Amino acid sequence: MNDYSLFQVMGPIMVGPSSSHTAGACRIANAARNLCPFPFKKATFYLHGSFLMTYKGHGTDRALLAGILGIKPDDDRIIQSFAYAKEAGLDYKFIKQDLGEVHPNSVKIILEGEGDQEFELMGSSIGGGNIELIELDGYEISFKNQFPTFILQYPEQKGVIAHVSRFISDAGYNIESIDTKKKGKKVTLSIELTHPADEDLKEKVLSSPLFDFARYLDTVD
């Protein structure tokens, strides 16, 4: 017999008509906001599959804007996210695009800051408000919103996993899983923890000179 969480049985607490098209979309955008390493002024949403077909009727556009602004899926302000985006001075647009062999409820988000600053995240809403982040700046990643996670990128070299694992172990934390993805000579390392990291551990890991990109992502409510 399969085990199911209460969340999976009852569904998420949310604003909107569809957990996949609103709650999931909001969480993906909120994750993009939290992972982006710079203040951004512009957001472009590339909508794929059923997101592309029904994004206005199901409120996916409002949910994505809300998430980028830091609004959570259970917040009534989702309904007014266009007004909040205007108030925040956020430049945004929605583009229909085939993103390839990905889940039909998928979106690629590009955030732009000063000068040539650009951050790209692709994620999928896989049902019941659950999400999976699958690509960051063109590199495959693994984040399923189940555990707090360090997402780290670095030029391929020996000893990096051991280095980070030692920080985590010395701080008294347990590792839930470790996942590595390699593209060319760059490695993307995702380390899930069983419990949220404190500020001291985050500082030690994220400030390491080993990494080109280093962010910590807690589960997105």
The three-state secondary structure class of 72 is: coil
Statement: residue 112 has pLDDT above 70: yes
How many beta carbons lie within 10 A of that of residue 205, not counting itself?
Answer: 22
Between 53-67, 109-123, 173-187, the lowest mean confidence (pLDDT) is in 53-67
Q: Are 44 and 109 in contact (CB under 8 A)?
A: yes
pLDDT digits (tens, 9 = 90+) for 81-105: 999 999 999 999 999 999 999 999 9
In this prediction, residue 195 carries a pLDDT of 95
Mean pLDDT of the chain: 89
Banded pLDDT at 51 (limits 50, 70, 90): confident
More confident residue, 56 or 148: 148
Does residue 58 surpass a pLDDT of 80?
Answer: no
Collapsing DSSP to helix, strand or coil, 42 comes out as strand
Alpha helices in 155-196 (DSSP H): 160-170
Look up the pTM and report it.
Answer: 0.87
- Mean local confidence (pLDDT), 169-177: 96
Give me the pLDDT at residue 18, please.
55
pLDDT band at 20 (very low <50, low <70, confident <90, very high): low
Burial class of residue 118 in the structure, from the number of CB atoms within 10 Å of its CB (0-12 exposed, 13-18 middle, 19+ buried): middle
The pLDDT confidence band at residue 190, using thresholds 50, 70 and 90, is very high
